[in-house]
Amino acid sequence: MKTADRVEFFRRLQALNPHPETELEYQSDFELLISVILSAQATDVSVNLATRRLYKKANTPEAIMALGEEGLKDYIKTIGLFNAKARNIIATCRALLESHAGQVPSSREALEALPGVGRKTANVVLNTAFGQPALAVDTHIFRVANRTGLAIGKTPLIIERKLLKSVPPQYLYDAHHWLILHGRYTCKARKPNCAECIVRDLCRTGRRAGY
């Protein structure tokens, strides 16, 4: 995609949604971290349903540690991979208390050292909690980037690196949310809604389809 087209691509997404936000529900950096860990291979809707109950009972590292692994499972058992996630969350809470005074760290290295936190989770927290221009390439962003021609690659890391170089700087902070929402509601995996897409004329797939 040409530079001018990339600028126009994000200008339109910004015009449609000037202040995009994650659809995960949270009230603190810690709640965000736990919700993002839970969201791996799960929908934001399912995570929100579980955390609405969980955070009323426990929304600090100390409180979740007090629940214990089995107690935590009772709150998150509707979410995929809940056994492993409960184990990782308890271990992460312990690490936060022992190494970070109970606070969520703001560096990639420290975040990725937490159990259950990989590069994608760290990127979400760095971007959403700490305002860093990080891009967490999930299935939606991976699909949108390749399908539109914003960035072509076979792995999320390749796509992430290409997007960081190609997204116009003035749009980089919010690009993560715009691309996720575009993939979730318009550029869907099975049935992309090209007819109502506001960037279809800039998209390599849309152009091939005659838009």
Residues carrying an active site annotation: 120, 138
**Separation CA 28–CA 22 (nearest Å):** 13
Angle at 115 between CA 179 and CA 103, to 5 degrees: 80
Cβ atoms within 10 Å of 62's Cβ, excluding its own: 11
Contact 137, 163 (CB under 8 A): yes
CB 6 within 8 A of CB 167: yes
How far is the C-alpha of 96 from the C-alpha of 101, rounded, in Å? 6
DSSP string for residues in 146-182: HHHTS---SSHHHHHHHHHHHS-GGGHHHHHHHHHHH
For the record, the structure tokens of 109 come out as 């290295």
Query: CB burial class (10 A; 0-12, 13-18, 19+) of residue 59?
Result: middle
